[in-house]
Amino acid sequence: MTRRNLIVLGLVAFVIVAGIVYMVVQQSRLPVELTGGLEPLPDVPIPPDNPMSEARIELGRYLFFDQRMSGDGSTSCAICHVPELGWGSGSAISPGYPGTSHWRNSQTVINSAYLPKLFWAGESLSLEKQAESAWTGNLAGNLDPAMAEERMRQIPEYVGVFEEVFGAPPNWGDALKAVAAFERTLVTQKVPFDAYAQGDRGALSAEALRGLALFQGKANCIACHNGPLFTDNSFHNLGVPRNPLYDSNINVQVALRYQHLSRGVPEEAYQAADRDLGLYYTTKREEDMGEFRTPPLRYVCYTAPYMHNGVLSTVEEVVAFYSAGGGDDPGKDPLMQPLDLTAPEQADLVAFLHSLCGDEIIIEAPELPPYAVISNR
């Protein structure tokens, strides 16, 4: 065989192999049909009594970062919702008002505008009510509304902006509206999954596409993480293991016992006080013990740690937890079954979850306006 023939045969073999590789790659990137209402987010719902405006949003941004909106003037919303930490606290248990601790993980405020119920057990029904609970809660802001109004009225810049936006001096109700308006602007952007859902079949990697198929199929994540926000907005007991901080940190333990006491938990449960009772605090139904609202999955790659008590540190740990069928709580949701996902399948699921994140949202804290001392002379 001549040298020329060898070269020709080599080129033919190369073309054949390249064609096979191309077909395999294309096969791995076949589009996955979306189910369970998975789609891009709709427009942000705006309550009729709190219309959006640039001035209202900007005032809310200032109030969100203003530490004077707390009892001792040291704690702003941004203490527990840090932009650089996924708009959560970055810690397993959220920090509390000085001298205290919270007893739960701090959830991100990204996309919170879409949630019909806020907090892990759905205790609040609007961003305005959520802000009020956070600002006044003994373990969070510990702020008296009358004190808040007096402080804002001694800040000339706030007085002028409140008059411009609301036609009235600074007051508690309008402050809640302003900070809620700001939070309604915190929405995920440039999300690869959304591009895919809108027809860009190259928006997801082959790994993410396989993860999407698993999400809707074998892994059955879609059972609870459905709809545009990837949550059913319902409550489930996953058997999440206890966080050791409940045993080792006195402030966390005090916070948990205080929650039991203030929410009317029976004496025998209060004496144990070894775990967060979740939805039970509101309903007092035994079957609701340990149930928590399904968290949305958008922006999930920025919001570690995970679960209501922050006991899982990475997305990989969360996927492994679900693959194992969750924890061993006797009240665990029957939907939690062992999945026996292989390591490659778990990696594909993680890749898909990362496709739900989009750009990281970082907003710098503003330079806050100063007080002006009022002279009575």
Note the CATH architecture for domain 192-354: Orthogonal Bundle (1.10)
The C-alpha atoms of residue 272 and residue 274 are separated, in whole angstroms, by 5
pLDDT, position 83: 97
DSSP-assigned letters across all residues of 262-329: HTT--HHHHHH--S--BTHHHH--GGGTTBEEPPP-TTGGGS-SBSTT--B-SHHHHHHHHHTT----
- How many C-beta neighbours within 10 Å does residue 206 have? 16
pLDDT, position 28: 44
pLDDT, position 6: 54
Q: In CATH terms, are 54-183 and 192-354 the same topology?
A: yes
The C-alpha atoms of residue 120 and residue 94 are separated, in whole angstroms, by 13
Consecutive 10-residue runs of the chain (377 residues): their mean pLDDT?
Answer: 58 51 45 94 97 98 98 96 97 94 96 97 96 95 97 97 97 98 98 97 97 98 98 97 91 91 83 85 93 97 97 98 94 94 98 98 96 73
The C-alpha atoms of residue 54 and residue 184 are separated, in whole angstroms, by 12
Q: Is residue 82 classed as helix, strand or coil in its secondary structure? A: strand
The C-alpha atoms of residue 123 and residue 130 are separated, in whole angstroms, by 8
The encoded tokens of residue 37 equal 């209402």
Query: Which amino acid does the sequence have at 168?
Result: A
Q: Report whether the peptide linkage leading into residue 305 is cis, meaning its omega lies within 30 degrees of zero.
A: yes
pLDDT, position 27: 43
Domain boundaries, the chain: 54-183, 192-354
CA distances from 289 to 94, 234, 238, 286 (A): 21, 14, 11, 6
Place of tokens 């778990």: 346
For 54-183, CATH gives 1.10.760.10
